[in-house]
Chains A and B, each alone.
Chain A
Amino acid sequence: SQTIHQWPATLVQPVGSPLSLECTVEGTSNPNLYWYRQAAGRGLQLLFYSVGIGQISSEVPQNLSASRPQDRQFILSSKKLLLSDSGFYLCARDRGTNTGELFFGEGSRLTVL
């Protein structure tokens, strides 16, 4: 099994508050990991990807940051949330070839008020 766990599943936060979303992966070593955001009516937008511990690549400059403190752990953070940060955040891994299919976690739905 190569399950992807995300938590929390749902989060409601006030503007200006911090954020931490966690993703952990089972059953595979050194996975390539991704954070995507899905806003209402829009496609999945790649935020970050990581090929290993401490290695983070950012695709879109914004209010968010990511970290990979352990091989199977990927964290999405913000120091001060904006209204525009609301959305559905999906963690994903690839098959190891970085171009094949992506496998997704169950997602974290963030509402910023």
Chain B
Amino acid sequence: EDKVVQSPLSLVVHEGDTVTLNCSYEVTNFRSLLWYKQEKKAPTFLFMLTSSGIEKKSGRLSSILDKKELFSILNITATQTGDSAVYLCAVSSGTYKYIFGTGTRLKVLA
């Protein structure tokens, strides 16, 4: 059965800290790995990764994929209170098929 596992489940840090969120997966037909940020309602798209070892960056956020070890990490440097959210990892594993993890809840304290 295809699955996506995220860790940790929750995390509390102070502003300015750096955090690393993990996503491991087991799927039969990997197409891409996606990261989302969900604050209150709609998840908003952060990154899509398809190739191993190529870092994607957007401001203080970055992500990388390891297709050999079947995992991805999302790094957030110099965290701010606005980074507080649930971060979701999803894997596209076939036509119209996206498998989501349960998410990591990040809380950044001022």
Which A positions have Cβ atoms within 8 angstroms of B? 32, 34, 36, 41-46, 49, 51, 57, 90, 94, 98-107
Residues in chain B within 8 A of chain A (CB atoms): 4, 31-32, 34, 41-45, 48, 88, 90, 92, 94-98, 100-103
A99 touches B95 (CB 8 A): yes
Looking at chain A's contact residues, the main secondary structure is strand
CA gap between A43 and B34 in the complex, in Å: 14
Q: A43-B88, A44-B88, A90-B42 are in contact. Are A102 and B98 (CB under 8 A)?
A: yes
Are B4 and A43 touching (Cβ within 8 A)?
yes
A43 near B96 with CB under 8 A, answer no
Of B31, B92, B96, which is within 8 A of A32 by CB? Answer: B96
- 7 pairs of A and B residues whose beta carbons are closest in the complex: A44-B100, A43-B100, A104-B42, A99-B31, A99-B92, A43-B102, A106-B41
Are B98 and A43 interface neighbours, CB within 8 A?
Answer: no
* Given A99-B31, A100-B32, A46:B98 Cβ within 8 A: yes
**Total of A-B residue pairs, C-beta within 8 Å:** 52
A99 to B50, CA, bound (A): 11
Q: Are A98 and B103 in contact (CB under 8 A)?
A: no
B92 contact set on A, CB distance < 8 A = 99-100
B95 contacts across to A, CB distance below 8 A: 98-99
In angstroms, Cα B100 to Cα A99, docked, is: 13
A106 to B4 Cα, complex, angstroms: 24
Closest chain-A Cβ to B29's Cβ sits at a distance in Å of 10
Taking a contact as CB atoms under 8 Å apart, the answer to whether A105 and B88 are in contact is no
Residue of B nearest to A39 (CB): B102
A76 to B88, CA, bound (A): 24
Interface pair B43/A104, CB less than 8 Å apart? yes
Q: What residues on A are CB-neighbors of B42 within 8 Å?
A: 90, 104-107
